[in-house]
């Protein structure tokens, strides 16, 4: 396990951050939300564990009066204690003379009460604005921690893809001994080389040293890790890596980046098994330069690691996240956002079962990286909000990502921010018939049984939570909830048989209550359907002009109905375009299968003609908006006038756009 979790206080944008990184950890979120600050804090902590490297300013960026920042890492000694006890017991049993002193050091940390009841060691760096540092444990113990729990930071943007020299440094660091004596090492090495090459070797070394000294030059001493890395280079017969007997510069950046990350993970993974070490690899944007299939391959390597190795990723790749969720049984995914200039962190909810993961594609995973999400019931809604003319008039719509459910509640749960516990603003857009449906026999509306993310009115747990709300929130939830259910249970709503009108003020009240209630749960409801929002009393004549120019056959059928009432005309137009009656019935629901409920044969014949010449769900929407903008919007002098005309003709669509805008 190694590192258990970290805590960051008053550090850059990180006022109070806690992260469990005991298993594979991924950090996701938009640029500028503090992911890099978390990495900077961890690296700063490790840079200062055994030396004073406090040149960087990591203090609170918003509060100059905050006197210090703190970085705390908790190290899990559980596995190390078990190994140490077993090794010491074996030594006693077998009467061995020598035993790695690390085992005794580990037990002494436990015996000296440095560990809590869960065998965690808390190590805290506190740094004041005057650069003074305070640690809660002594230097010797920190050096021991750095040896046993090393961290390797990899920024893929900075990897030299054709020269992997730093791999030797990592190999050397992992392989070095805790009781390494530099002087003894140099003396033994000189004796060894003298034995191999003869006394001339020492003479040449002295000549080189003298020449350099006389020239006021010196060789920068290698680190202990570097010395061990050099030993392995000598053993392996060289320093330079190649792939398939070719120099690395022959291959693409993608191949080299993949191979570098794979060999890094495999080497650290395997060496850590042989050594008494529990390392962590932190990789910033591992997906850079990788083709999709390479990302899949990297995910498999990451998820095949042993339990001693921790991996911490910062990524913008939906494909990588999707694969890690699928391949790795244990993982922590954290989502970052900015709130009042400070980083907010949430741990994503786990996926309940394998069936849920099967439905998670790269598309769904991409919404975990969104600035805002609009979840739509169908493709028609998608076509409206992604229409080029509407986006030009309301450019903030481009800030959001749009997902069409096609009424699939399983996929809704995959991307719903509240269900996944990610802090992304969102709106769910539904037709009104997703909440209630009409019972022809009882002349009542009933709540539809749907997921709580579709219909919170149907969810008992939601109602129980509302019992404990206060003030305006209680009125908008609990009281509205009770009143809506009371109306549905007690009231009948007879409708106009032919055209489905419900001319009842109580129904209008019910409609308004349900819409307001659902909006409190980020669900926007159309009064009936999207078609009802597109084709309404306000824009009837405009729409009919476009309809007449594009669908002459349907216009002929429309005229045969010989309607005089405007409400009836609007309803008939909606039916041609797949809409519904005001009572939320389809034609088949209103008149029965095969129109069995219609006794008037001429009317039945007309309805049959309508059904035979209904217009496809989405193909007409862009065409209609092109017409509307060309003749009614584009020639207006300023944006205010354009928006007013749009609002007057599409009040429901305008309300939806405003709801979306307010989520930014």
Long-range contacts from 245-248, C-beta under 8 angstroms, 24+ separation: 247/162, 248/161, 248/162, 248/163, 248/164
Average pLDDT, the chain: 89
| Band (96; pLDDT cuts 50, 70, 90) | low
Q: Are residues 47 and 86 in the same domain?
A: yes
**Residue 180: is its pLDDT beyond 60?**
no
Q: Give the mean pLDDT of 626-632.
A: 97
Q: Tell me how many degrees the CA angle 498-544-630 measures, rounded to the nearest 5.
A: 150
Query: In 10 A of CB 587, how many CB atoms?
Result: 19
Same domain, 140 and 56: yes
Does some domain include residue 639? Answer: yes
Q: Name the pLDDT band for 292 (thresholds 50, 70, 90).
A: very high
Structure tokens at 103: 């085992």
pLDDT at 411 over 90: no
Tell me how far CA of residue 470 lies from CA of 479, 520, 638, in angstroms.
11, 14, 44
| Segments forming the whole domain that contains residue 474 | 432-535+618-661
Q: Please, are residues 264 and 170 in contact by the beta-carbon 8 Å criterion?
A: yes
pLDDT reported for residue 181: 57
pLDDT band at residue 503 using 50, 70 and 90 as cut-offs: confident
> Over the Cα atoms of the chain, what is R_g?
34
Q: 83, 115, 149: which is the final residue of a domain? A: 149
pLDDT over 80 (residue 167): yes
Confidence of residue 97 (pLDDT cuts 50, 70, 90): low
Average the pLDDT over each of 184-188, 385-389, 533-537, 582-586 and give the range with the smallest value: 184-188
217 and 293 inside one domain: yes
For residue 648, report the phi and psi dihedrals to the nearest 5 degrees: -65, -35
Is 110 part of any domain?
A: yes
* Same structural domain, 86 and 199: no
- The CA distance from 346 to 474, in Å, is 26
* pLDDT confidence of residue 187: 66
DSSP string, 275-326: TT---EEEEE-TTTT--HHHHHHHHHHHHT--TT-EEEEE---HHHHHHHHH
Among candidate residues 90, 117, 149, the one where a domain is terminated: 149
Assess whether 294 and 439 both reside in one domain.
no
Q: Render pLDDT for 504-535 as a digit per residue (tens, 0 to 9).
A: 889 999 999 999 999 999 999 999 999 999 99
In a domain, 101, yes or no: yes
Smallest CA-to-CA distance from 251 within 154, 158, 161, 157 is with 161
Q: How many residues does the chain have?
A: 664
Same domain, 172 and 273: yes
Q: How many domains does the chain have?
A: 3
Task: Name the 3-class secondary structure at 546.
Answer: helix
- If pLDDT is split at 50, 70 and 90, which confidence band does 94 have? low
Give the Cα separation of 170 and 583 in Å (integer): 70
pLDDT of residue 98: 67
Residue 136: is its pLDDT beyond 90? yes
CA distances from 187 to 172, 180, 195 (A): 19, 13, 12
* Shared-domain flag, residues 643 and 518: yes
Considering the chain, what percentage of its residues have pLDDT values greater than 90? 59
DSSP reduced 3-state for 331:
strand
Based on the fold, state whether residues 145 and 176 are members of the same structural domain: no
Q: Place 185 in a pLDDT band, splitting at 50, 70 and 90.
A: low
Same domain, 624 and 481: yes
High-pLDDT (> 70) share of the chain, % = 93
Instruction: Say if 185 falls within a structural domain.
Output: yes
Tell the residue number behind the tokens 């509407």, with chain if given: 390
Mean pLDDT of all residues in 220-226: 71
Instruction: Give 72 or 607, the one with higher predicted confidence.
Output: 72
Find the mean pLDDT for residues 400-429: 90
Cα–Cα distance, 226 to 395 (Å, whole number): 55
Q: CATH no. for residue 104?
A: 3.40.50
Q: What are phi and psi of 63, to 5 degrees?
A: -125, 95
Check residues 36 and 354 and name the one with the higher pLDDT. 36
Q: pLDDT tens across 451-484, in order?
A: 788 899 988 888 888 888 888 888 888 899 999 9
Question: Is residue 219 pLDDT above 70, yes or no?
Answer: yes
pLDDT at position 91, please?
Answer: 64
Instruction: Give the range among 36-50, 132-146, 185-199, 210-224 with minimum mean pLDDT.
Output: 185-199
Distance CA 72, CA 363 (A): 37
User: Residue 289: CB partners within 8 Å, gap ≥ 6?
Assistant: 156, 161, 252, 253, 254, 256, 257
- Hey, how many other C-beta atoms are within 10 angstroms of the C-beta on 464? 10
Asked if the structure places residue 400 within a domain, the reply is: no
State residue 329's pLDDT score. 84
End position of a domain, from candidates 121, 149, 177: 149
Please identify which residue in the block is written with the tokens 């020639």. 635
Greater confidence (192 vs 14) lies with 14
pLDDT band at 407 (very low <50, low <70, confident <90, very high): low
Average pLDDT over residues 3-7: 95
pLDDT for res 282: 96
In-domain check, residue 416:
no
Together in a domain, 144 and 201 = no
Question: What gap in Å lies between CA 558 and CA 609, rounded to an integer?
Answer: 10
Tokens 């007309």 -> residue: 606
The segment with the largest mean pLDDT, out of 184-198, 447-461, 519-533, 602-616, is 519-533
Looking at per-residue pLDDT, the higher value among 267 and 239 belongs to 267
pTM of the predicted protein model = 0.88
Q: Which two tokens stand for residue 78?
A: 């559980």
Q: Both 144 and 175 in a single domain?
A: no
Task: Verify that 251 and 126 share a domain, yes or no.
Answer: no
């Amino acid at each position: 396990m190694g590192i258990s979790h970290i805590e960051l206080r008053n550090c850059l944008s990180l006022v109070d951050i806690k992260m469990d990184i005991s298993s594979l950890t991924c950090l996701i979120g938009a640029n500028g939300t503090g992911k890099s600050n978390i990495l900077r804090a961890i690296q700063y902590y490790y840079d200062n564990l055994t030396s004073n490297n406090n040149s960087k300013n990591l203090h609170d960026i918003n509060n100059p009066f905050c006197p210090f920042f703190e970085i705390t890492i908790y190290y899990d000694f559980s596995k190390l204690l078990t190994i140490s006890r077993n090794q010491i017991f074996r030594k006693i049993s077998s009467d061995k003379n020598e035993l790695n002193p690390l085992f005794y050091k580990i037990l002494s940390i436990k015996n000296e009460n440095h560990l809590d009841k869960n065998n965690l060691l808390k190590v805290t760096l506190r740094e004041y604005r005057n650069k003074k540092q305070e640690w809660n444990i002594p230097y010797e113990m920190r050096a021991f921690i750095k040896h046993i729990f090393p961290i390797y930071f990899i920024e893929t943007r900075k990897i030299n893809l054709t020269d992997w020299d730093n791999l030797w440094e990592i190999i050397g660091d992992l392989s070095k001994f805790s009781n390494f004596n530099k002087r003894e090492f140099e003396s033994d090495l000189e004796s060894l080389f003298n034995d191999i090459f003869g006394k001339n070797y020492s003479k040449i070394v002295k000549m080189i040293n003298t020449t350099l000294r006389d020239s006021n030059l010196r060789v920068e001493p290698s680190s202990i890790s570097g010395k061990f890395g050099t030993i392995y280079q000598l053993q392996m017969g060289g320093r330079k890596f190649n792939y398939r007997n070719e120099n690395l510069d022959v291959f693409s950046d993608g191949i080299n980046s993949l191979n570098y990350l794979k060999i890094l993970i495999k080497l650290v993974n395997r060496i850590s098994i042989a050594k008494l070490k529990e390392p962590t690899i932190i990789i910033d944007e591992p997906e850079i330069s990788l083709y999709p299939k390479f990302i899949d391959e990297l995910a498999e390597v990451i998820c095949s690691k042993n339990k001693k190795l921790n991996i911490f990723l910062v990524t913008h790749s939906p494909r990588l996240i999707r694969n890690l969720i699928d391949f790795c049984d244990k993982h922590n995914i954290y989502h970052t956002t900015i709130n009042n200039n400070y980083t907010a962190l949430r741990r994503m909810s786990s996926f309940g079962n394998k069936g849920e993961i099967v439905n998670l594609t790269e598309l769904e995973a991409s919404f975990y990286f969104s600035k805002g999400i609009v979840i739509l019931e169908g493709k028609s809604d998608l076509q409206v909000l992604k229409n080029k003319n509407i986006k030009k008039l309301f450019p903030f719509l481009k800030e959001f990502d749009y997902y069409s459910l096609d009424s699939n509640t399983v996929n809704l749960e995959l991307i719903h921010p509240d269900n996944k516990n990610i802090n992304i603003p969102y709106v769910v857009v539904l037709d009104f018939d997703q909440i209630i449906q009409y019972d022809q026999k009882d002349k009542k509306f009933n709540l539809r049984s749907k997921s709580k993310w579709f219909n919170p009115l149907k969810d008992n747990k939601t109602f129980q939570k509302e019992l404990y709300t206060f003030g305006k929130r209680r009125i908008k939830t609990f009281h509205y909830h009770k009143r809506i259910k009371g109306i549905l249970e007690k009231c009948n709503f007879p409708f106009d048989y032919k055209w489905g009108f419900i001319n009842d003020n109580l129904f209008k009240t019910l409609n308004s209550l349900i819409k307001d209630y659902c909006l409190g749960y980020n669900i926007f409801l159309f009064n009936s359907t999207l078609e009802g929002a597109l084709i309404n009393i306000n824009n009837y004549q405009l729409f009919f002009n476009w309809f007449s120019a594009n669908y002459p056959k349907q216009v002929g059928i429309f005229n045969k109905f010989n309607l005089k009432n405007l409400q009836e005309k609007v309803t008939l137009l909606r039916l041609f375009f797949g809409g519904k009656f005001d009572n939320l019935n389809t034609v088949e629901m209103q008149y029965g299968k095969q129109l069995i409920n219609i006794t008037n044969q001429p009317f039945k014949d007309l309805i049959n003609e309508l059904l035979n010449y209904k217009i496809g769900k989405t193909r007409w929407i862009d065409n209609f908006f092109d017409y509307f903008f060309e003749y009614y919007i584009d020639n207006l002098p300023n944006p205010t006038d354009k928006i007013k005309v749009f609002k007057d003709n599409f009040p429901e669509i305008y309300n939806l756009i405003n709801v979306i805008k307010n989520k930014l």
